[in-house]
Amino acid sequence: MLAAGQSSRYRAGGGEAATKLIETLGGRPIVRLAAEAALDSRARPVVVVTGHARSAVEAALTGLDLALAYNADYGTGLASSLRVGLAAMPADVAGALILLGDMPWIEARLIDAVIEAFLASRDALAAAPTRAGRRGNPVLLGRGLFEAAMRLEGDEGARRLIGALGPGELVEVEAHDAGATIDIDTPQDLAAAPGARGRDG
């Protein structure tokens, strides 16, 4: 899970917290909600990449059964956090599911559906949810894409890698709710957000 960003749009919009990730929905920090969804799923290990406001983000995750990986180069953009996260994966994993810390409505059942669809397709290099024709998150990168992902630079995530895949190489899963496409970027997004929903067990 990527949780290292500087929340620049949030702070530019008047947000007072060091990072939007520690703002709360339903009494729990946004980043904790995202992490709890991962922990409620079959994805293991769960690794959270921290950077900006590291101590505050780590405090919001206290007590959860996950690993932390610090990205000292978080100011260079998303790609550096992706590299740190992939480097923290065990050598025998089939792939890595890339969760974003500012997407608190991702559900464990969606994470599991993406994993299951990827594992069920012999030719798949990646898997991703879609909602009303729009590709969302989390994206699963198969090990065959790790090397290319490790070469990404700046604020580029895996979108270009996913977009370049051919038929059969990308497995798409229909998301049954809007959580796969909704994130929190600004104080206005936070103010308009409904309280956090319950999580799958």
Among 53-62, 97-106, 159-168, the minimum mean pLDDT is found in 159-168
Q: Which tokens go with 90?
A: 């065990």
Kindly list the distances between the CA atom of residue 59 and the CA atoms of 31, 32, 126, 191, in Å, as whole numbers in the listed order. 10, 10, 32, 23
For 116, half-sphere exposure in the C-beta direction (CA atoms, 13 angstrom radius) is 10
Q: What is the pLDDT of residues 184-195, one digit of tens each?
A: 988 898 888 876
Q: What domains can you pick out in the chain, each with its CATH number?
A: 2-181 (3.90.550.10)
Q: What is the pLDDT of residues 124-180, one digit of tens each?
A: 999 999 998 899 999 999 999 999 999 999 988 888 899 899 989 999 999 988 899
Of 110, 104, 129, 75, which is closest to residue 189 (Cα–Cα)? 104
Rounded to whole angstroms, how far apart are CA atoms 126 and 143? 9
Over range 87-112, report the average pLDDT: 96
CA-based angle 71:73:76, to the nearest 5?
125
Concatenated DSSP letters for 95-144? EEEE-BTT-TT--HHHHHHHHHHHHH-TT-SEEEEEETTEE-S-EEEEGG
